[in-house]
Amino acid sequence: MSILRVLLNAAPDPGRADVWALFDADENVVQSGKSAPDAWPDAERREAVLAASCVRIVGLRLPPMPADRVASAAAFALEDQLAGPAEEQHIAVSPQRSDGTVEAIVANRDLVAHVEANFDRVLAEPALAPRPAPRHWRWYPSGMGGGFVRKPDGSAFASGEERGVPAELTLALDHALRAEDGPLDVEVAFAGDKAESDVPQPGGVPFVQVDAWRWDAAGKTALASATDLCQGEFARAMPDVARGSSRLFRVAAVMAALAIIIHIAASIGDWAYVRFDDWRAKSALASVAREMGVASTTDPAMEIARQYAAARHRAGLAAPTDALPLLARAAPALAALPAGVLKTATYADGHWTFDLAKSQNVTSGLESQLASAGLTSLTAVNAAGTRIRVSLAVGAQ
């Protein structure tokens, strides 16, 4: 199967020549060039690669969660890091790793909309480059000029085309060194001896030459595992399946079906008991709601809590989900944080949102203390620090 990949920094234009490469089924380049769309070679599949200057990758650490919730959790974690209005940005996320990390790729929504209509996949150029080892950064060249820097957590940012160290890399190094999170060195993956001939050493961080890298020589593994930006509103209704994979899919489907059958057979008794116990609890709640004169509702517990809060308000008393009582529950846990870690606190709709500065081992003890206080929390870690949303646990009133 032949695959045409085109490197783009804007939507395809009949009057503009773009760099492209034609690959065979083994991901070997058989032809490359630069031409307008009407001169691109024919291929069975077309894939767009958005240049590093058009995307940003943010490494996030999220709590374990179902795959269908990762995208919304990543969007919540990136809420205050997006450049420009959120509705103008498109966020695509990689599968969550075993350590909870994901790569969130941020691109312009209009650009993705124009590109995805003409291609089977849309990839990000920095996502094709390998992650460096822990405590190392790697500076890669972009096929559109300039370059980008990849960090061990998967994050990546574009750099300019000026000779020597670009301003973006200098600022990033300065910020990391001030936060005592700087790399041991910066690996330079440009062709030639750029590390020694062109590059000074900001902040004393050495620049080390490594093997040169090109976007069209990323390798079969990197291309196969690269995150497709066609997610969310741009998701394909019928995902394409590569030729030869149907047999593997059938085997996997049979194995999954057998596992499901065995699981159901082994746990049917527990499941039935849990369902009965749940029904009994809901019936008891519905009975209490009726005795209180609550109209029929699909969630009697929530309605009881709402009426309880309203009754306390009428009596001039605070309800458990009000701002001050909720903050009072969280206060002992927050007081244990190191000085300066808590940046902002915001209350809305029965929950507090706390933004914490970047600090080691902050959330593990904090989450357990909040749980002990009868609170539930949702935590997201990003480059700026930690955001944690706290609300009253069910039954804690």
Same domain membership, residue 172 and residue 65: yes
Mean pLDDT for 340-360 is 88
Same domain membership, residue 162 and residue 64: yes
Same domain membership, residue 308 and residue 331: no
SS3 61: strand
Same domain membership, residue 295 and residue 160: no
Q: What is residue 241's predicted lDDT score, i.e. its pLDDT?
A: 43
Mean pLDDT for 56-83 is 88
pLDDT tens, 175-231?
999 988 899 999 999 987 665 545 556 778 899 999 999 999 888 888 888 999 999
- Asked, for residue 90, whether it belongs to a domain, the answer is yes
Q: What is residue 109's predicted lDDT score, i.e. its pLDDT?
A: 92
pLDDT tops 80 at residue 172: yes
- Asked, for residue 187, whether it belongs to a domain, the answer is yes
Looking at 209, 234, 259, which one is the last position of a domain?
234
Q: Where are the beta strands (DSSP E) in 39-171?
A: 45-50, 55-61, 89-93, 101-108, 121-124, 136-141, 147-150, 156-159
CA nearest neighbour of 234 among 121, 376, 70: 121
State both tokens at 309: 């809060």
- Asked, for residue 46, whether it belongs to a domain, the answer is no
On whether the CB atoms of residues 357 and 341 are closer than 8 A, the answer is yes
pLDDT tops 70 at residue 316: yes
Mean pLDDT (the chain) is 86
Instruction: Identify the weakest region by mean pLDDT among 104-113, 143-152, 255-264.
Output: 255-264
| Residue-range definition of the domain harbouring residue 379 | 323-392
Mean pLDDT for 295-304 is 65
Same domain membership, residue 191 and residue 112: yes
Same domain membership, residue 182 and residue 75: yes
Torsion angle of the four alpha carbons 126, 130, 134, 140, in this order, in degrees rounded to the nearest 10 = -50
Same domain membership, residue 332 and residue 307: no
Same domain membership, residue 273 and residue 293: yes
Looking at 234, 268, 290, which one is the last position of a domain?
234
Q: What is residue 239's predicted lDDT score, i.e. its pLDDT?
A: 45
Q: What is residue 365's predicted lDDT score, i.e. its pLDDT?
A: 81
- Asked, for residue 281, whether it belongs to a domain, the answer is yes
Q: What is residue 193's predicted lDDT score, i.e. its pLDDT?
A: 62
Mean pLDDT for 62-72 is 90
Q: Helix H segments across the chain?
A: 67-77, 109-116, 167-178, 194-197, 220-225, 246-291, 300-314, 323-335, 363-372
Per-residue three-class SS string for 219-262: CHHHHHHCCCCCCHHHCCCCCCCCCCCHHHHHHHHHHHHHHHHH
For 123, list phi and psi in degrees, rounded to 5.
Answer: -115, 165
Which residues make Cβ contacts (< 8 Å) with residue 86, sequence separation at least 6?
75, 79
- Asked, for residue 204, whether it belongs to a domain, the answer is yes
pLDDT tops 90 at residue 122: yes
Same domain membership, residue 384 and residue 341: yes
User: Which CATH number do you get for residue 339?
Assistant: 3.30.1360
- The size of the chain, in residues, is 397
**Beta-carbon neighbour count of residue 117 at 10 Å?**
10
State both tokens at 132: 């460096």
Q: What is residue 349's predicted lDDT score, i.e. its pLDDT?
A: 82
Which residues make Cβ contacts (< 8 Å) with residue 271, sequence separation at least 6?
264
- Asked, for residue 31, whether it belongs to a domain, the answer is no
Q: Provide the pLDDT confidence category of residue 283 given band limits of 50, 70 and 90.
A: confident
Q: Provide the pLDDT confidence category of residue 11 given band limits of 50, 70 and 90.
A: very high
pLDDT tops 60 at residue 282: yes
Q: How big is the chain by its Cα radius of gyration, in Å? A: 26
Which residues make Cβ contacts (< 8 Å) with residue 176, sequence separation at least 6?
182, 183
SS3 351: strand
- Asked, for residue 47, whether it belongs to a domain, the answer is no
Q: What is residue 242's predicted lDDT score, i.e. its pLDDT?
A: 45
Rounded distance between C-alpha atoms, residue 230 and residue 358, angstroms: 31
Looking at 294, 317, 340, which one is the last position of a domain?
317
- Asked, for residue 150, whether it belongs to a domain, the answer is yes
On whether the CB atoms of residues 300 and 286 are closer than 8 A, the answer is yes
Q: What is residue 133's predicted lDDT score, i.e. its pLDDT?
A: 95
Q: What is residue 57's predicted lDDT score, i.e. its pLDDT?
A: 95
Q: What is residue 313's predicted lDDT score, i.e. its pLDDT?
A: 82
Total domains in the fold of the chain: 3
Report the half-sphere exposure of 271 (CA within 13 A, side-chain side): 6
Same domain membership, residue 272 and residue 380: no
Mean pLDDT for 304-331 is 84
Same domain membership, residue 74 and residue 213: yes
CA 288 to each of CA 54, 93, 295, 300: distance values in angstroms, whole numbers, following the listed order: 57, 44, 11, 9
pLDDT tens, 20-45?
999 998 889 999 999 999 999 999 99
Same domain membership, residue 266 and residue 141: no
pLDDT tens, 225-278?
899 999 988 987 644 444 445 566 778 888 899 999 988 888 888 878 888 887
CA nearest neighbour of 93 among 241, 238, 226: 226
